[in-house]
Chains A and B, each alone.
Chain A
């Protein structure tokens, strides 16, 4: 079946511009997560959606970052007034209860470069 998809795969933007990154989770997965992978920092949690509950935004690094999930499916991560330190690969994952492990399935990521 289809996995998690993300778009665009690569995004180059100028410092100060806003960007939107999109994630399509696996159909039927109720939980959706955003992570950031950057050199020297590994993978960092950003934000998490589960069903109709309020999202867990505890990982967002600043108020320039926001995300929404429409209709319990597609999610958009928005970064306003991008800075060079925002350059990273942004990963989306989704999960369901599955076998009880709540395994997360990752998308290919969006590589963001801020010039």
Chain B
């Protein structure tokens, strides 16, 4: 069975600080990897995804993530956070075998203080 572990449940940063949110997954096969974001009062939106090619992927709003296969990791980064980045971030994985369900981490709540 797949599992996803997010290292931090809550992160508090000041504006302009750098961000790295950890994500590790457990799965025996080939996977697709996703980061979703949920802003306060809004629904889940895709931030970025990896399914093939360059393991460093860039998403919306200046976010990026690096897939390190040997470490089963897909950490999310942003060099300089803004107050508007305050949200909950979810790492997710599914099996790369056509359609398959997502397994989510428990989420990291990021609070950015102005």
- Docked complex Cα distance between A106 and B45 (Å): 7
Residues of B within 8 A of A25 (CB): none
Contacts A42-B90, A103-B46 given; indicate if A33 touches B106 (C-beta within 8 A): no
B32 lies within 8 A of A59 (CB):
no
Interface size on B, residues (CB 8 A): 24
Give the secondary structure class of A's interface. Answer: strand
Give the secondary structure class of B's interface. Answer: loop
A33 lies within 8 A of B34 (CB):
no
List residues of A whose CB falls within 8 A of some B CB.
30-31, 33, 35, 41-45, 48, 50, 56, 59, 91, 93, 95, 97, 99-109
20 contacts between A and B (CB under 8 A): A31-B99, A33-B102, A41-B106, A42-B104, A42-B106, A43-B102, A43-B107, A45-B102, A48-B99, A48-B101, A91-B43, A93-B102, A95-B99, A97-B98, A101-B32, A101-B49, A103-B46, A104-B102, A106-B45, A108-B43
